[in-house]
Amino acid sequence: MIIINNWKMDASRCTLAHQGTGETLRLGEFHFLLLEILITYPDTVLSREFLIAEVWKNRVVGSNSLPTAIHALRLALGDDSKQKEIIQTIPKKGYFLNSEFISYAENESLSQPVPNDVDLLINDNQERTLPETEAVPEAPARPLKSNRFSLRGRLGMLLAIVVMTATLGTLLWSSSRQQENKAEGTQLKYVEFPDVTHIKIGYLYEPDTDDTGSSAIEKNWHPLAVNLDTLLAKKNSSMKIYVYPSMDKLSLDLSLTNHCHQTWQVMLSIDNWQHDMDKLNNIITKHARRTLHEMPTCE
Amino acid sequence: MKCQHVNKVCALLLTLLLAVLIFSGQSIAGNKIEHTDLVHYDMKSGEESIYTVEVNESHDQINALFAEVSPTLKSYSEFHFSPCLKKNRPDSVKGTYHLDSVKVEPSDAHMKQIASFLQLQNLGVQLTELAPGEDLLLMKQNSMLITLNTTDTLDMLATCKPHSKSR
């Protein structure tokens, strides 16, 4: 487990958990990947080109994407003072992560006491070697009746092997399922507001990265959805909205259908969309309103 | 001057309409999308550009036409792709569009940038079926979304032959 400036990284959930306060921060897929890459090469100046290629792969990214992501990471790690000690900028060269802030801890699962049942798996003539740091309470010495296992011991061992095989099988199956899910590509989920009847909202997300985004939409988009719903109700129209957020860009697809079934579409691509949420809502509303206005009137 | 612009827009829309008619001979089962605008907006700089777009999707050819209509009219840009798509879910196909040919107005920096990128790299895409005759296209590299009318089923679209079409 990697700890950086008291923030413990959890790669499976893309989160940082503060060791002192217990606060948990969820990072975006790219933010977390960027942090992982910086940590992989501590004290090494990594060029902007290298970081963009490693993090965003084949995506087209704006010139501000990397500085914005670095800024977000600094904020998350509490490195927002003027000094910028954790992630340092080397002008015209790139960025590096100061290794003094990195520490490593064992996985919590390893530091759990090992149940005594494990004894059953240890051969009489075999010593179990444990890592030096592993804190395992010493099991009380048990006199052995003979060098051979008793019937009970054999049954126990058999049972333990069966349980372990089943657990391993389940883990492998689960892992292969996750791999399959990853291969399935971008997912689509619909978000519903009970008081919004003229709009259908679909949210696109990458598996295992930001599937909680739909709850963020439910929380933040309700006023916008209600405003648009009122506008559409007045025009006797309906709209489908598909949303695909990434770190710097919000992509929307608005399909507006009037009461005589004419459909016009607006593909909205908004850079730096998190800059001002009120302004964002205004832009979406403006283009929905404009399109409704420009659509031909029904004969 | 304004009148000239209007004439140009009319000519342009007529061209687009013809392209639509050529490539969508069959009837569309879902809501037929009659007009598409592409709006690009930067929240920090306040810069906004609006294009009129037509995309025609079939199992062996994709034609995308873009015309910037605001603030000044520019000739339309053409992108012609061949798809290489495979079914990744019952309701979705995924793969790449390979740029076969392109015609971009040199003064249109935004389109020029996209064209340069596509000449180096295939465009990663995913098409998700929304309703009969309607697909949602996600262009993975630049996260753009567009709903398309289609006359082809996903099975018809998923006809990629990697050795012959993909690079």
Q: What ipTM describes this predicted complex?
A: 0.78
Of the candidates B31, B40, B124, the beta carbon closest to that of A257 is on B31
Cβ contacts of B140 on chain A, cutoff 8 Å: 58-59, 186
A278/B contact by beta carbon, under 8 A: no
pTM of this prediction? 0.57
Residues A274, A275, A281, A285, CA torsion sign: negative
Q: Which of B44, B70, B167 is nearest to A294 (CA)?
A: B70
Q: How far apart are CA B137 and CA B111, in angstroms?
A: 19
By CB atoms closer than 10 A (0-12, 13-18, 19+), residue A264 is: buried
Give dist(CA A230, CA A213) in Å, integer.
Answer: 25
pLDDT of residue B47: 87
- pLDDT, averaged in runs of 10, over chain A (299 residues): 86 82 81 87 84 80 82 83 81 86 64 34 34 34 42 69 74 57 75 92 78 70 92 93 86 93 93 86 93 85
The predicted pLDDT at position A111 comes to 37
The alpha carbon dihedral of A51, A54, A58, A59 has a sign of negative
Q: How far apart are CA A270 and CA A31, in angstroms?
A: 19
Task: Quote the pLDDT of residue B21.
Answer: 43
Residue A264 confidence (pLDDT): 94
CATH 1.10.10.10 domain span(s) along chain A: 2-104
- Using the 8-state DSSP alphabet, how is residue B5 labeled? H
B40/A271 Cβ within 8 A: yes
B136 to A242: CB separation less than 8 angstroms, yes or no: yes
Burial of B1 (0-12, 13-18, 19+ CB in 10 A): exposed
What is the CATH superfamily name and number for domain A187-294? Ribosome hibernation promotion factor-like (3.30.160.100)
- Which residues, other chains included, contact B54 with Cβ-Cβ below 8 Å and sequence gap of 6+? B16, B19, B20, B36, B63, B64, B65
Residues in chain B within 8 Å Cβ distance of A58: 121, 124, 140-141
Q: Cβ distance A254 to A229 under 8 Å?
A: no
Instruction: Determine how β-strand A263-271 pairs with β-strand B33-42.
Output: parallel
Nearest to B143 by CA among B126, B128, B131, B158: B126
Tokens of A123: 């051969």
The pLDDT of residue A110 is 37
Please write the tens of the pLDDT for every residue from A137-174: 333 333 334 444 455 666 677 777 777 777 777 666 66
- Taking the C-alpha atoms of residue A14 and residue A98, their distance in angstroms, rounded to an integer, is 21
pLDDT value for B37: 92
Q: State how far the Cα of A89 lies from the Cα of A45, in Å rounded to an integer.
A: 9
Size of interface A-B (CB pairs under 8 A): 117
- Check: CATH 3.50.50.60 for A2-104? no
Which residues on chain A are in Cβ contact (under 8 Å) with B141? 58-60
Q: Are B128 and A186 within 8 A, CB to CB?
A: yes
Q: Which residues, at least 6 apart from A257, have a Cβ–Cβ distance to it below 8 Å?
A: A237, A238, A239, A263, B31
Quick: pLDDT tens for A172-210. Answer: 666 555 554 455 788 898 988 999 999 999 989 887 655
- pLDDT on residue A297: 80
B9 in A contact zone (CB under 8 Å): no
**Residue numbers in A near B124 (CB within 8 A):** 58
Instruction: Provide CATH 3.30.160.100 ranges for chain A.
Output: 187-294
Query: What pLDDT is stored for residue A273 in this prediction?
Result: 85
pLDDT of residue A210: 57
User: Are A242 and B34 within 8 A, CB to CB?
Assistant: no
Q: What angle do CA B6, B9, B12 make, to 5 degrees?
A: 150
pLDDT digits (tens), chain B, 167 positions: 344 444 455 455 555 554 544 444 445 556 789 999 999 999 989 988 888 888 887 778 889 988 877 666 677 889 999 999 999 989 999 999 999 999 998 877 778 888 888 888 889 999 999 988 888 999 887 889 999 988 888 888 888 865 444 43
Q: Which residues contact A111 (CB under 8 A, 6 or more apart)?
A: A134, A135
Q: Does A200 touch chain B (CB under 8 A)?
A: no
